[in-house]
């Protein structure tokens, strides 16, 4: 793992352009916060993106939970991403056979590939899902070449999650095999120690996004389990994903700043070692 290096150093060394941008943004804005803006009104989503934009590296969306979705939202989101210099991560969790996910990712009602810099998938279907998404991103006529990347959901934060053991191992194996498109994982622990059939890459530097982050709560009534920004970063998280801890409090801007500060200080402590 390269987690002892600074974001700036990792930006210089990384071979994937999206990972490079991500690290450059973190370094420039001094933030490793990803806000999970799980609100259901388009206006509220855009308002959050504009107000929290200065303090975050990535805005994570669940675009299908908007109850007044229209394609103009996507244009507005892209504009805000450019204005505040953050990436957009659509948390779509693709989970189907290759042929289906290709159509869900590129085209379709939501045109995800046209606006989401980053998407994620689960490993439940096996290697084919990663193979299919990689193939789409590498097509001759794919318009966003080198501007898109995939994260594999390698573990889950919910109680009783089955994303463990062999599932997690195959996640790492596929990330190594398709590292041109896969830049890392959504997971709650570092995964570089996992041995797979595919050897670790020379200069391997997967980006670890950790969710289930909240400064004030230990969990919710539906099985979500939380840790703090500090513990997540100390455990290896490069980026911390926080939803309700930021958007569902009385002052989301103050909250975003607090997560930014705790996450950044934990990062500084980690790279100083």
* Positions marked active-site: 91, 93, 96
Report how far apart, in Å, the C-alpha atoms of 150 and of each of 65, 133, 230 are. 21, 8, 25
53 vs 212, which CB is nearer to ligand 6AU? Answer: 212
In whole angstroms, how close is the CB of 246 to ligand 6AU at the nearest point? 8
Nearest residue (CB) to ligand 6AU, 122 versus 140: 122
Closest approach of ligand 6AU to the CB of residue 143, in Å = 26
Q: Which of residues 211-270 bind ligand 6AU (CB under 6 A)?
A: 211-212, 214, 224, 241-245
Measured CA angle at 204 (ends 99, 266), to 5 deg: 105
Note whether 238 and 32 are within 8 A (CB). yes
Instruction: Work out how close the CB of 46 gets to ligand 6AU at its nearest, in angstroms, rounded to a whole number.
Output: 18
Q: With binding defined as CB under 6 A, does residue 91 bind ligand 6AU?
A: yes
Cα(193)–Cα(262) distance, integer angstroms: 27
Please state, in angstroms and rounded to a whole number, the distance separating the CA atoms of residues 233 and 128.
31
Is 243 marked as a binding-site residue?
yes
Secondary structure (DSSP) of 138-161: TSTT-TTTTS-EEEEE-S--STT-
CA 107 → CA 92, 104, 112, 133, 142, distances in Å?
14, 7, 7, 13, 11
Residue list 5-34, contact with ligand 6AU (CB under 6 A):
none
The residue among 143 and 223 lying less far from ligand 6AU, judged by its C-beta, is 223
Position with the least CB separation from ligand 6AU? 243
Residues 6+ apart with CB under 8 A from 20: 11, 14
Is residue 244 part of an annotated ligand binding site?
yes
Annotated binding residue 31: no
The verdict on whether residue 257 carries a ligand-binding annotation is no
Q: Is 38 annotated as a binding-site member?
A: yes
Spatial CB neighbours of 193, under 8 Å, sequence gap ≥ 6? none
Whether the CB-CB separation of 187 and 155 falls below 8 Å is answered with yes
- Residue 218, annotated ligand binder? no
Q: CB-wise, 36 or 136, nearer to ligand 6AU?
A: 36
Lay out the site mask for ligand 6AU across 106-145 (x = CB under 6 A, - = otherwise): --------------x-------------------------
Binding site for ligand 6AU (CB under 6 A): 36, 38, 62, 91, 93, 120, 153, 156-157, 186, 211-212, 214, 224, 241-245
């Amino acid at each position: 793992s390269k987690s002892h290096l600074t974001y700036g150093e990792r930006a210089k060394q990384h071979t994937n352009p999206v990972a490079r941008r991500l690290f450059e943004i973190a370094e420039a804005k001094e933030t490793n916060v990803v806000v999970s803006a799980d609100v259901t009104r388009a206006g509220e989503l855009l308002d959050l993106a504009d107000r929290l934009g200065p303090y975050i590296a990535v805005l994570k969306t669940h675009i299908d939970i908007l109850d007044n979705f229209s394609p103009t939202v996507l244009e507005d989101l892209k504009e805000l991403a450019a204005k505040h210099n953050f990436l957009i991560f659509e948390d779509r969790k693709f989970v189907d056979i290759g042929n289906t996910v290709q159509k869900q990712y590129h085209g379709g009602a939501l045109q995800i590939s046209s606006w989401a810099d980053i998407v994620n998938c689960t490993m439940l279907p096996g290697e084919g899902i990663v193979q299919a998404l990689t193939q789409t991103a590498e097509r001759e006529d794919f318009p966003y070449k080198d501007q898109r990347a995939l994260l594999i959901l390698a573990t889950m934060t919910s109680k009783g999650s089955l994303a463990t053991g062999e599932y997690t191992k195959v996640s790492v194996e596929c990330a190594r095999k398709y590292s041109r498109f896969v830049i890392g994982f959504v997971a709650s622990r570092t995964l570089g120690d996992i041995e797979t059939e595919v050897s670790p890459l020379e200069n391997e530097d997967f980006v670890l996004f950790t969710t289930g982050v909240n400064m004030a709560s230990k969990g919710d009534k539906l099985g979500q389990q939380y840790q703090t920004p500090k513990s997540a970063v100390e455990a290896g998280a490069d980026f911390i994903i926080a939803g309700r801890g930021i958007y569902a409090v009385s002052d989301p801007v103050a909250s975003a700043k607090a997560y930014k500060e705790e996450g950044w200080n934990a990062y500084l402590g980690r790279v100083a070692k």
